[in-house]
């Protein structure tokens, strides 16, 4: 069987597509578990997992079966009518995460936007903040998505530049700095929006105890703690939610990405207080949010995550992967970071661009993604085995000990 050459797909993409991505030169046509295959039949270990949307692995058979079954029965009702998948989805996700209320959306950025709207409304109607004065605190180097509302409080030049004007009402503080949080809180602060571990910034793990302090400050000042667990959640860090590493509970938790196991965009705002209760009919919505296909897929995605021990496996294999990366002796490596299967190698600036190492890894059968010039991120599906981790480590070590400047 022959397929058009790789360059042909890439050139056609370039000709017709907006060039808002710079993908590695590989064209994929099939995936199964931790592996993907390109159009030429070469196999790769996927160490990106679509930015953690594929925690359950590619094309998980049980999620696929749920999707196919539901797709043949009922896909979309809109929220103008009830459907028989939404209630069980609510019950199951609330039970699993210990949440009281659920708002279903589609993309991660929509979940972030929905949380911002909800906490503002809560601020005006419950906390008593004067209308139009609500403030939300966020962190430098955050990543919460690409909508206008969200990029307005990014600190990354490429993300923001020439997309303004932006919405006011956000204060930016350094990540991991409790004193800065305390200083930024005013009587008009309604929420602190933060990632448990900053993913796109390069897997930045805050100092131990940071989130315990954050929780205390938020409670003391009646500020809603919104944890964006769109990337860290659903097993990625070796716990169902990354907040569990800190023994805290957010007021509002955002999930997306792996909530559908990579089949379909499904996101959710979860809250354990009155925040979502402020939304009344007609005040917020989404045509596709909570549709029966999304709910059926998400239910299956959550079920296999728990039933197949993927969260525990992420903890075990993450430890193995981190140890292995840490034992690579190479001048190129400046630091190795990780929790669970959310891992990164930061290169010394003299080692050259991380992209070059990702290209070299591709030739060895590993797909990984550079972030911020000098960092390579490793985030395989949570179904990875010890043998596969060892296989990857051997190849990663071989590449990192080369000079690719
Ligand atoms: C990916 C991501 C988002 C945005 O999700 P989209 O589905 O791409 O809109 C938001 N927050 C975090 C932490 C993410 O990793």
- Domain boundary among the residues 307, 335, 357 is at 307
**CA 150/CA 159 separation, integer angstroms:** 10
- The pLDDT assigned to 275 comes to 97
- Same domain? For 144 and 273 the reply is yes
Q: Is residue 17 part of a domain?
A: no
Q: At 224, give phi and psi (nearest 5°).
A: -75, 125
Q: Is residue 348 part of a domain?
A: yes
Tally of CA atoms within 13 A in the half-sphere of 109 that contains its CB: 11
Helix (H) / strand (E) containing 390: helix 386-400
- Same domain? For 77 and 98 the reply is yes
* pLDDT class of 5 with cuts at 50, 70, 90: confident
**CA 257/CA 179 separation, integer angstroms:** 32
Shortest-distance Cα residue to atom 5 of ligand 1: 108
Q: What percent of the chain has pLDDT over 70?
A: 99
Q: Is residue 54 part of a domain?
A: no
The Å distance, Cα 405 to ligand 1 centre, comes to 31
Residues whose CB falls within 8 Å of the CB of residue 133, separated by 6 or more in sequence, listed in order: 188
Q: Which domain holds residue 32?
A: 24-46+309-400
- Same domain? For 258 and 318 the reply is no
Ligand 1 pocket, Cβ-based, cut-off 6 angstroms? 51, 107-109, 112, 143-145, 195, 199, 228, 230-231, 256-257
Domain CATH number, residue 386: 3.90.1150.10
* Lateral strand order in the sheet of 252-255: 101-105, 267-271, 252-255, 224-228, 189-194, 135-139, 170-173
Q: Are 49 and 31 in contact (CB under 8 A)?
A: no
Query: Which atom of ligand 1 lies at the shortest distance from residue 110's CA?
Result: 9
**Statement: residue 57 has pLDDT above 90:** yes
Q: Are 268 and 102 in contact (CB under 8 A)?
A: yes
Q: At 137, give phi and psi (nearest 5°).
A: -95, 135
pLDDT tens string 236-267: 999 999 999 999 999 999 999 999 999 999 99
- Same domain? For 207 and 339 the reply is no
The Å distance, Cα 109 to ligand 1 centre, comes to 6
In total, how many domains does the chain have?
2
Q: Is residue 254 part of a domain?
A: yes
| Model confidence, pTM | 0.97
- Same domain? For 112 and 126 the reply is yes
Residues 8, 10, 14, 17: is their CA dihedral positive or negative?
A: positive
Query: Which atom of ligand 1 lies at the shortest distance from residue 106's CA?
Result: 7
Average pLDDT, stretch 282-286? Answer: 97
pLDDT tens string 182-240: 999 999 999 999 999 999 999 999 999 999 999 999 999 999 999 999 999 999 999 99
- Domain boundary among the residues 246, 276, 307 is at 307
CB-CB neighbours of 149 under 10 Å: 17
Q: Are 67 and 266 in contact (CB under 8 A)?
A: no
- Same domain? For 210 and 352 the reply is no
Query: Which atom of ligand 1 lies at the shortest distance from residue 52's CA?
Result: 15
- Reading the block at residue 320, the tokens are 């193995």
**CA 255/CA 118 separation, integer angstroms:** 15
- Same domain? For 259 and 275 the reply is yes
User: Maximum Cα–Cα distance for the chain, whole Å?
Assistant: 67
Q: Is residue 11 part of a domain?
A: no
- Same domain? For 296 and 331 the reply is no
Torsion, Cα 338 343 347 353, to 10 degrees, reads: -150
Task: List b or e across 320-331, with b for residues whose CB sees 16 or more CB atoms inside 10 angstroms.
Answer: bbbebbeebebe
- Same domain? For 254 and 127 the reply is yes
User: Average pLDDT over the chain, rounded to whole?
Assistant: 96
Q: Is residue 209 part of a domain?
A: yes
């Amino acid at each position: 069987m022959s397929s058009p050459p790789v360059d042909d797909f890439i050139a056609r993409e370039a000709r017709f597509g907006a060039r808002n991505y710079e993908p590695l030169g590989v064209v994929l046509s099939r995936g199964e578990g931790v592996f993907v295959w390109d159009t030429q039949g070469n196999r790769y270990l996927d160490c990106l997992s679509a930015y953690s949307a594929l925690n359950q692995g590619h094309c998980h058979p049980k999620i696929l079966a749920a999707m196919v079954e539901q797709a043949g029965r009922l896909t979309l009702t809109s929220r103008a009518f009830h459907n028989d998948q939404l209630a069980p989805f609510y019950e199951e996700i609330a039970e699993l995460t210990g949440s009281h209320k659920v708002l279903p959306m589609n993309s991660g950025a929509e979940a972030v936007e929905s949380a911002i709207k909800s906490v503002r409304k809560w601020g005006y109607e419950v906390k008593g903040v004067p209308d139009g004065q609500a403030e939300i605190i966020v962190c430098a180097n955050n990543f919460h998505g690409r909508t206008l509302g969200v990029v307005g409080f990014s600190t990354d030049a490429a993300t923001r530049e020439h997309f303004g004007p932006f919405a006011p009402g956000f204060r930016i503080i350094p990540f991991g700095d409790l004193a800065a949080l305390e200083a930024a809180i005013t009587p008009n602060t309604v929420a602190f929006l933060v990632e448990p571990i900053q993913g796109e910034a390069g897997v930045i793990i805050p100092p131990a105890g940071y989130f315990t302090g954050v929780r205390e400050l938020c409670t003391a000042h009646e500020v809603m703690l919104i944890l964006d667990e769109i990337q860290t959640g659903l097993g990625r860090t070796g716990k169902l939610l990354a907040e569990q590493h800190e023994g805290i509970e957010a007021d509002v938790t955002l999930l997306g990405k792996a909530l559908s196991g990579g089949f379909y965009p499904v996101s959710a705002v979860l809250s354990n207080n009155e925040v979502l209760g402020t939304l009344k009919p007609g005040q917020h919505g989404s045509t596709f949010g909570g549709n029966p296909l999304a709910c059926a897929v998400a239910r299956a995605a959550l079920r296999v995550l728990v039933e197949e021990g993927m969260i525990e496996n992420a903890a075990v294999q993450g430890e193995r992967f981190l140890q292995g990366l840490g034992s690579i002796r190479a001048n190129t490596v400046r630091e190795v970071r990780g929790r669970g299967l959310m891992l990164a190698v930061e290169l010394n600036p003299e080692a050259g661009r991380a992209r070059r190492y990702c290209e070299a890894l591709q030739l060895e059968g590993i797909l990984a993604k550079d972030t911020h010039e000098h960092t390579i991120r490793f985030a395989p599906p949570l179904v990875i085995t010890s043998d596969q981790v060892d296989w990857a480590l051997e190849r990663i070590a071989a590449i990192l000990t080369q000079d690719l400047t």
